[in-house]
Amino acid sequence: MSSSDRLPDYPLHSDLVRRLKSALDARDDETVSRLICTEVGHVDATIELANDDWMKDPAAPLPAGVLVGLWTLEYKRELTTPLCIAAARGHTACVRHLLSRDADPDASPGGQGALHEACLGGHTDCAQLLLQHGADPDLLSAEGLAPLHLCRTAASLGCAQALLEHGASVHRAGGAGRDTPLHVAAQRGLDEHARLYLGCGARVDARNGRGETPLSTACGAARRPDEHARCLRLCALLLRRGAEAGARDEDERSPLHKACGRARPELARLLLRHGADAGALDYGGASPLARALQTAACAPEAAPQRTVQALLNHGSPAVWPDAFPKVLKTCARAPTVIETLFNAYPQLRVSESWREVIPEEVSQMHQAFYQSFFALAHTPRCLQHLGRSAIRKLLGKKCFHLVPLLPLPKSLQNYLLLEPEGVLH
C-alpha cells in the first residue's frame, strides 16, 4: 500500500488538523509548534492537510481546475508529518524536539521530506539539524528532486553549503527536466550558488533533458529588471569557468538566441565578446537578429536597438531586403531599431507603399524620423553612408573590435558602429 493510499493518523476533518490549518493560515507559529510538539500522538504521524478526492462526494460541485484533473483520474491529497511542517516553517526548536524523540528525518508521506521543505524555505538551521540526525542529503522526492534542487532562493545558500558538506551530489540530474543543481541556480539567477557548485566540481557545460547548458538556461529565463545585474554576473562567471558561448540546445538555439529573445542587450554583448556566433540559425531558421527584432516592439524600454547594433557589429547578416517591410511593421514603434538595421545596408530602396504598415499615431509620434526615412524613396543614400558601408564590409565580423582602433574622432567611430542619430541621411 502506498503512502497516498494509507489512512492518515490525523485526517483532514479531525479536530487537530482543523486547529493546525487555522494556525498555519494565521501564521501563528507559536500555536503550530505547540500542536505538533505536544498534541500529535507520535512523532512520525501522518497528517492530512488537503484532499480534493471528488469520489468521496460525487454530487459535490467541482471547480474547473479539478475537472481538468478528472481526465487522468488524479486528485490532490496533501499528506505530511510534524517534522515536515516544522522544517517548512523554520521552527528550529520544534525540529530539534522531534528529532530528539527519534522522528524519521527522511519520512515523506507527501512525496517530499523534511530536508526538502527546509531547503525550499531557506531554513539553514533546520537543514543542518536534519543532516546531523542522518537525513539523506540526496533523498529524492516523488518528482525526482534532491534537496539541492530545491535550493532556489538566495536565502537557501546556507542549506546548499550544508548539503554539500554532508555529501550531497552536485552532479545529480533531477525532475522532469533533468536539471542539475547548477541548472537550477542558473535558471534562478543565483550567482553565489553557482560559484559554490562550480567550486565543488559541478560541470559547467552539463546538459539537461532539453539539451541546455546552465549558460543557456540562464540566458533563456525570464527576469525582473532588478535581477538583471545578478544574472549578468552569473553568466560572466560561467563563461570565465569555460562555458561554451555557442552551445546549442535540442532546438539548435544558442544562449545568444535566448538572450536576444529576452531583450537583454548587455547579456548579448557579453556572449558576443566570448565568441558567440551572431549569424547562427536555429531549427526554425531564425537568427539571433530575428529573435531581437521579434521582441523589439514588446520591450522598447530594454533598448532593443543596442542588441541589434551589437549583432550587426559582430557580423550578423542583415534581414533579407524583401523582408524589410515586415520588420518595419513589427518594429514601427521602435524607430531606433529601424534606423540601426536600415543603416546596415549600403543601399535599400524605400517604397512609398511602406507608409501603409505604419500606424498614423506612430508616424506622428516619431515624425522627424519617418520624414527622413521616406525622403529616401526619392534620393540615394549620402556619400558618407556609402563610405561607412564600404569600411564595414572591409572589416566584416571584426567591426566591433577594429573600429575603436582606427585613428578617428569618437563621433566617426560611433557612426561606423551604427550608433543611432534619430534621422536618416
Q: What spatial distance separates the first Cα and last Cα of the chain, rounded to whole Å?
A: 78
Could you list the residue range(s) of the whole structural domain that residue 317 is in? 262-425
Q: Quickly list H helices, 149-209.
A: 157-165, 181-188, 191-199
Residue 40 lies in a domain: yes
pTM for the predicted model, two decimal places: 0.88
Co-location of 153 and 302 in the same domain: no
Question: How confident is the model at residue 58, as a pLDDT?
Answer: 46
Q: What is the separation of C-alpha 77 from the centre of its chain, rounded to a whole number of angstroms?
A: 30
Q: Say how far apart CA 142 and CA 193 lie, in whole Å.
A: 24
Q: How far is CA 90 from CA 93, 94, 117, 193, 208, in A?
A: 9, 9, 9, 21, 31
d(CA 214, CA 186): 6
At 87-137, the pLDDT tens digits run: 999 999 999 999 999 999 999 888 999 999 999 999 999 999 999 999 999
Query: In total, how many domains does the chain have?
Result: 2
Would residue 244 count as lying in a domain?
no
Q: Look at residue 424 and tell me whether its pLDDT is greater than 70.
A: yes
- 239 lies in some domain: no
**SS3 of residue 174 by DSSP:** strand
Q: What is the pLDDT of residue 213?
A: 98
Q: Give DSSP secondary structure letters for 217-278.
A: HHHHS---GGGHHHHHHHHHHHHHTT--TT---TT---HHHHHHHTT-HHHHHHHHHTT--T
pLDDT band at residue 76 using 50, 70 and 90 as cut-offs: low
159/299 same-domain check: no
What mean pLDDT do residues 216-243 have? 92
Task: Please answer whether residues 316 and 279 qualify as being in contact, where contact means their C-beta atoms are separated by less than 8 angstroms.
Answer: yes
Is residue 147 one of the residues assigned to a domain?
Answer: yes
Which helix (H) or strand (E) is 399 found in, with range?
helix 399-402
Cβ atoms of 82 and 103 within 8 Å: the answer is: yes
Are residues 76 and 188 located together in one domain of the fold? Answer: yes
pLDDT (0 to 100) of residue 378: 86
Which whole number is the average pLDDT over 237-246? Answer: 96
CB 325 within 8 A of CB 331: no
Mean pLDDT of 395-412: 96
Pair 150, 277 in one domain:
no
Confidence of residue 5 (pLDDT cuts 50, 70, 90): low
Q: Is residue 75 in a domain?
A: yes
| Cα distance between residue 36 and residue 48, in whole Å | 13
Q: Does the pLDDT of residue 371 top 90, yes or no?
A: yes
Kindly state whether residues 284 and 365 are assigned to the same domain: yes
pLDDT at residue 227 tops 90: no
Domain annotation covers residue 159: yes
The residue that leads in pLDDT, 100 or 60, is: 100
Percent of the chain with pLDDT over 90: 74
**Interval 322-341: pLDDT, tens:** 999 999 999 999 999 999 99
Please tell me whether residues 266 and 196 are part of one structural domain. Answer: no
Same domain, 195 and 266: no
The mean pLDDT value for 53-62 works out to: 47
Could you count the other beta carbons within 10 Å of the beta carbon of residue 46? 18
Q: pLDDT at position 65, please?
A: 45
280-292: per-residue pLDDT in tens? 999 999 999 999 9
Whether residue 174 is contained in a domain is answered as no
- Per-residue pLDDT, averaged over 146-164, amounts to 97
Strands 47-51 and 77-80: antiparallel
| Mean pLDDT value across residues 353-373 | 95
Residue 64 has pLDDT above 90, yes or no: no
The pLDDT of 402-421, averaged and rounded, is: 96
Tell me the pLDDT band of 6, cut-offs 50, 70 and 90.
Answer: low
Phi-psi region of 222 (alpha: psi -120 to 50; beta: other; left: phi over 0): beta
Cell numbers 538595421: residue: 341
Let me know: does 253 contact 271? Beta carbons within 8 Å. Answer: no
Kindly report the CATH number assigned to the domain that includes residue 188: 1.25.40.20
Please state, rounded to an integer, the average pLDDT across all residues of the chain: 90
**Confidence check: pLDDT of 257 > 60:** yes
**Is 195 inside any structural domain?**
yes
How is 20-71 classified by DSSP, letter by letter? HHHHHHTT-HHHHHHIIIIISSSTT--EEEEE--GGG-TTS---HHHHHHHT
Task: Examine the pLDDT at 63 and tell me if it is beyond 60.
Answer: no
Secondary-structure breakdown of the chain: helix, strand, coil percentages, each rounded to the nearest 5: 55, 5, 45
